[in-house]
A and B are shown apart, each in its own frame.
Chain A
Amino acid sequence: MKKKKFSDTFARMYRNPQYRICLWIFGFFTMLVTYFTFKSKKGKDAFAKLQKELKQEYMRQGLHEKFYEDALLQVKKKNEYFKKTISEDAAEKEARAIAERNLKHFVHDKAKEKAEMESVSELTMASCYGKLMENPVFMIFSFILSFPMYILMVLYIRPIAKYATERLFLMIFVLFGVTWLVFTILYIAPMDAATNILGQTATQEQIDTFNRVYGLDQSYFTQLFSWFKNLLTFNLGNSYQGNESVAVALMAKFPVTLMVTFWSMLVALIISVPAGIISAIKPYSTFDYVAMFLALLGLSIPNFWLGLMLILQFSIKLGWLPATFQLGNAMTLIMPAIVVGTGMSASIARMTRSSMLEVKNSDYILTARAKGLVEKKVVLKHILGNAMIPIITMVGMSFSNLMGGAAVTEKVFNINGIGSYIVDKQFVPDIPVVLAGVVYISFIVSIMNLLIDIIYALIDPRIKAKMKNY
């Protein structure tokens, strides 16, 4: 049973051209053995014999002549219709090719029909592989030598895992694109890092040395590919300014930004989802008007201004909260989380309201009420549950804005995060910092988008069903 599953998966993967290449790459040993077995057996198995017999029989019946005549007529009519004149020879040649092909298909179909009755199977790569897997020695060797192929197979049979793998694979190209984009922008820039660091008085010799040390004198493509390699291996060298290890600095700053992002997201969800739900249940009520006005206000307030106002009120006037962020002090996290969170909650609350209002009047909600369900259950399970997709999309989009907009809030509260690091270094421009910062943030955003797509499948049975057939 288990072995059957292997050969089935193999057959499905082998049918897809992209996966066929992957099979060859990841399971070279297994594929090689299977291929030679297949080649050596081809034409000698029962099915091939059956096909041969059938073909001879049809030839005897003169079927190939009939196919040929039909094809010739078709070719002639076609040329007549398109008002094209071709020589008799060419027409005959074309007709013969068509007839040959048709006969082959015809025989293949007939043979398959007959084979099914006689329970003889066609020889393919997959069936070869299945046969080979029955041999325990081959199986063990195959497991050891081409284990990446088996990992791929395990992922392949789980639709969500397969989807995630494919997306991760495509992400490499997107990230390469991002690297290319940002690097090209920085490369064609008129801003010269060397003169900015060394000052206007630097001699040409000094500038040349600087460029050589940081590899800026190499050609465009060399630099680009070495950057791509360095970004993949996390080998980022030192920053131009301050000469610190970029990788170490990023490792120290990323957790801070992610922590602020996480708490802001939490604040946003706590404010926005309940507000959106109440607004949707009682539309055009006073609460709805006030909440939606506040949401629109939240969309319009610049983050840095709100941050400054909070500092003015709660740090300077009342002295309740510290104005600058300190790592490990939870009190200092409150204001940044509120500032970023309120901005984010505005769009999520609006989306919650509108998408719930759309669902609210559906027939199945009426059914749920008619069943006598408690109002709470109708609202939370049936209305909110079905309105979830746009809300989650909005959360994902806000996450992207959040990671990008982090620079501003980080500056206001003096947070030592990735955003303010990039802004500090961009005046140089410090290529390692800007490039690595932007690419890694894009990576996190892409991963988040992938997670959101997977969450779709988990909460929406329709998407889940679609993914099953994926």
Chain B
Amino acid sequence: MVKTETQRNGNFYLKKVYKRKLGGSLEFTTARLAYQVTFILALFLATQVVKNGVVSPIMAAVTGVFAVEFLIQFFVAKRIQKEIIGGDGEISNRTRKFGYILLLFVITGNFLAFIAGAMLVKREKNLEYQLSIYSLLVTIFILLVSALNLFKEYIVETFWLGMGLYGLYAILNFGIVLAVNKYTFGKKPDKKFMPFAVICLLGIALGNVFSFVLGLIAIGKYRNKNEEVSVEWIDVIQRLFRNYTAVIGMFLVAFFVAVSIGSNLTFDYDLAVSNNFMTRLAEPSLAYPFGCDDYGRCVFTRIIFGASISLIIGMISTIVPIIFGGIVGAMAGYYGGKADNTIMRVIDVLNAVPSILLAIAIIAAFGVSTTNLILALSVSSIPAYARTVRAQVLGISNQEFVEAAKACGAKNGTIIFKHIIPNSLAPIIVQATMGIGSAVLSTSSLSYLGIGVEAHIPEWGNVLKAGSTFLETNPYIAIYPGLAIIIIVLAFNFFGDGLRDALDPKLK
């Protein structure tokens, strides 16, 4: 009796130790998520093979590919698990070789396998290496998504130019991965890496956020004079990259940003907006992956172009209320007394109206247009930001360093902008990240009601609205734009959650 008890306890603690060991291994966590998601995807695809009693050979082949991918990933993950738990806890070089196979899976769009493979092939993975891998991945994904256009009857004139540019950029990115391997180690990158860092910074022009961050970090670390003290914002990013789901969220956001820039060259805007009655309500096929709507417009192309609209509206209608709400909230929190009372009463009035209703009222008054939509969304989210900023400023303005600044004779403006705002940014950044997601949701909700973006613009809510009429016969027109909305909002939520943890001073 006693023995079994101790045995059970022993097992319990052993299990905990294993769990911690596995959780700390980037190779295992990435590989596990990869095979889990591939498994779910393969299962879902398997249900689509037989449709209306007809076996679709393409679907069967795709399902087969994913099933094989799953088996290989599962085998690799189990192998990693065995080597970490048993033996000296090191992954052998033979197992690491399997990573190259996983890298190849990216051709089928399996980015999780690519990440798992990239994490597996290298033993020492610093932040720069991870960033360069994600940067490469974003570029490859743009190439893959653009390549789907090859199945269409005709392609846009700039297609090959775009593909060529992105192909070159992918090679450049690969070069950066190699350079990162060679020149960045320890606390300071080698001087020879600096040209690459500048190239990385230029990546922002193509919407490649990871590449941009990599460049910033390399330069930031290089210019950091005191090597003993690490740069604070680099630490935050380092902590963010420990949270795998947050990084996936960031990847999806970066992908959508990059796609909304890249699509201008490789996608045909005419397919998204002009009527084509030859393809009216066409079923999904290789040429039209998500089918066509009632005007014969390619739903896939519409979704791709919708990304930039949703992102732009989301970002502007987050930045504007942050600026206005921030100024108002900071004034209320800093000056207190009568100013605080007056401002907060006005905010109370704004807050009493549910935000969507206020947006509807504003659009009712000014008419349906994108500008009015942005105005409506901005006004209705001012109270939330004003409250957050006020609470932060109230807390900070009582602290010693503000008192010290006052005692030194600093002006109010200097204190607010140099001392209080930088110290109260963290929760606002988190709120803003999630705010973009919810702004995308609100935009599509209002578009669905017919009072958001103008009906002819391929915003996701508009695409979905067209599909809701044909729900019975052509459900895919409504399904895919909805999935796009979910993925981008989910990505922002994952990213925001990760940022919250990374910025939390308690978890340093």
Tell me the A residues contacting B by CB distance below 8 Å: 173-175, 177-178, 180-182, 185-186, 188-191, 296-297, 299-305, 308-309, 311-312, 316, 400-401, 403-405, 407-408, 411-412, 419, 422-423, 426-427, 429, 434, 437-438, 441-442, 445-446
Contact = CB atoms under 8 A, between A and B. Distances in A.
B486 interface: yes
Nearest to B441: A302
Given A405-B445, A438-B358, 4 more contacts: A296-B497, A300-B485, A422-B357, A438-B353
A304 B445 contact: yes
B365 A189 contact: yes
B493 A299 contact: yes
A407 B355 CA distance: 12
Given A178-B349, A316-B472, A442-B353, A429 B490 contact: no
B373 to A, nearest CB: 13
Given A407-B356, A442-B352, A303 B445 contact: yes
Contact of B354 (A311, A404, A411): A404
17 contacts: A178-B353, A186-B364, A189-B365, A189-B366, A299-B489, A300-B490, A302-B448, A302-B485, A304-B445, A305-B486, A308-B482, A401-B355, A407-B360, A408-B448, A423-B360, A426-B360, A427-B451
Given A308-B478, A426-B364, A426-B451, A302 B486 contact: yes
Most buried by A among B353, B357, B471: B357
B366 A300 contact: no
Contacts of B468: 304, 308, 412
Contacts of B449: 407-408, 411, 423
B454 interface: no
Interface size class of B (residues with CB under 8 A): 35 or more
B475 interface: yes
A404 B493 contact: no
B58 interface: no
Nearest to A305: B482
Which of A188, A190, A408 has the most chain B CB atoms closer than 10 A to its own CB? Answer: A408
B353 A304 contact: no
B346 interface: yes
A304 B448 contact: yes
A125 B179 CA distance: 88
A241 to B, nearest CB: 13
A289 to B, nearest CB: 10
A190 B451 contact: no
B299 interface: no
B435 interface: no
B357 A174 contact: no
A417 to B, nearest CB: 13
Query: Across chains A and B, which 9 residue pairs bring their CB atoms closest together, nearest first?
Result: A404-B354, A189-B365, A177-B349, A426-B364, A305-B482, A300-B489, A404-B356, A429-B364, A300-B490
B470 to A, nearest CB: 11
A312 B471 CA distance: 7
Contacts of B364: 186, 189, 191, 426-427, 429, 434
Nearest to B448: A304
Contacts of B475: 312
Query: Residue among A299, A316, A403, A445 with the most chain B CB within 10 A?
Result: A299
Contact of B363 (A182, A308, A426): A426
A185 B349 contact: no
Nearest to A323: B471
A466 to B, nearest CB: 19
Given A177-B349, A296-B490, A405 B366 contact: no
A296 B500 CA distance: 15
B355 A302 contact: no
B471 A441 contact: no
Contacts of B464: 302, 304-305, 308
A26 to B, nearest CB: 25
Given A296-B497, A434-B361, A302 B444 contact: yes
Contacts of B451: 423, 426-427
Nearest to B482: A305
Contact of B479 (A190, A309, A400, A407): A309
Contacts of B352: 174-175, 177-178, 442, 445-446
A441 B354 contact: yes
Interface in B358-379: 358, 360-367
Contacts of A419: 357
Contacts of A441: 353-354, 357
Contacts of A297: 486, 490
Interface string B473-507: 00100110010011001100110010000000000
A429 B368 CA distance: 12
Contact of B367 (A191, A403, A412, A437): A191
Most chain B beta-carbon contacts within 10 A, residue among A299, A300, A434: A300
A302 B354 contact: no
Contacts of B367: 190-191
Interface string B215-233: 0000000000000000000
B146 to A, nearest CB: 26
A44 B18 CA distance: 90
Contacts of B403: none
Contacts of A175: 352
A301 B464 CA distance: 13
Contacts of A427: 364, 451
Contacts of B466: none
A48 to B, nearest CB: 39
Interface string B424-454: 0000000000000100010011001101000
Nearest to B468: A308
A188 B356 contact: no
B493 A305 contact: no
Nearest to A304: B448
B350 interface: yes
A175 B345 CA distance: 11
A427 B367 CA distance: 8
A305 B485 contact: yes
Interface in B227-279: none
A401 B445 CA distance: 13
Contacts of B448: 302, 304, 408, 411
A400 B354 contact: yes
A401 B490 CA distance: 19
Contacts of A311: 471
Contacts of B90: none
B354 A405 contact: yes
Contacts of B354: 400-401, 403-405, 441-442, 445
Given A185-B365, A308-B468, A300 B353 contact: no
A323 to B, nearest CB: 9
A427 B497 CA distance: 38
Contacts of B482: 301-302, 305, 308-309
B478 A177 contact: no
Given A186-B365, A311-B471, A174 B360 contact: no
B157 interface: no
A426 B363 CA distance: 8
Contacts of A429: 364-365
A311 B360 CA distance: 26
Contacts of A303: 445
A197 to B, nearest CB: 14
B361 A426 contact: yes
Contacts of A446: 352
Nearest to A426: B364
A181 B357 CA distance: 13
B497 A316 contact: no
A309 B482 CA distance: 10
Given A174-B349, A186-B365, A423-B449, A308 B471 contact: yes
A173 B58 CA distance: 65
A426 B358 CA distance: 12
